């Protein structure tokens, strides 16, 4: 069970969890088992009919990809 610590100096605020990152496992690439990742962009095209605009729009969606092979784990694909 995690230890919950209240706000600092008696201030109200969300509780903070005392988490030791040394106990947390590193995530690995599902394709090559690499452990180094970098931010990339996926791009969605949004029809002008959906936005009411005069032309189609593009929307960048940040994702995390393996820096070794470029694979994007399913866990890192946003559900938009």
Q: How many of the other CB atoms lie within 10 Å of CB of 29?
A: 20
What residue segments make up the domains of the chain, in order of their start? 25-80
Digit-by-digit pLDDT tens for the chain (80 residues) are: 455 555 555 567 778 888 899 999 999 999 999 999 999 999 999 999 999 999 999 999 999 999 999 999 999 999 98
Q: So what's the pLDDT on residue 15? A: 81
- Tokens read off for 43: 């791009």
Q: So what's the pLDDT on residue 17? A: 83
* Sequential DSSP letters for 22-80: GGSPPP--TTT----EEEEEEEEEE-HHHHTSSS-EEEEEEEEEETTT----GGGS---
Q: So what's the pLDDT on residue 6? A: 54
CA angle 3, 27, 20 (to 5 degrees): 20
């Amino acid at each position: 069970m995690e230890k919950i610590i209240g706000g600092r100096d008696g201030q109200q605020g969300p509780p903070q969890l005392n988490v030791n990152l040394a106990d947390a496992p590193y995530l690995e690439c599902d394709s090559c088992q690499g452990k180094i990742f970098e931010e990339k962009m996926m791009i969605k095209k949004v029809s002008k009919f959906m936005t009411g605009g005069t032309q189609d729009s593009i929307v960048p969606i940040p994702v995390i990809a393996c820096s070794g092979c470029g694979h994007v784990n399913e866990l890192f694909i946003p559900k938009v």
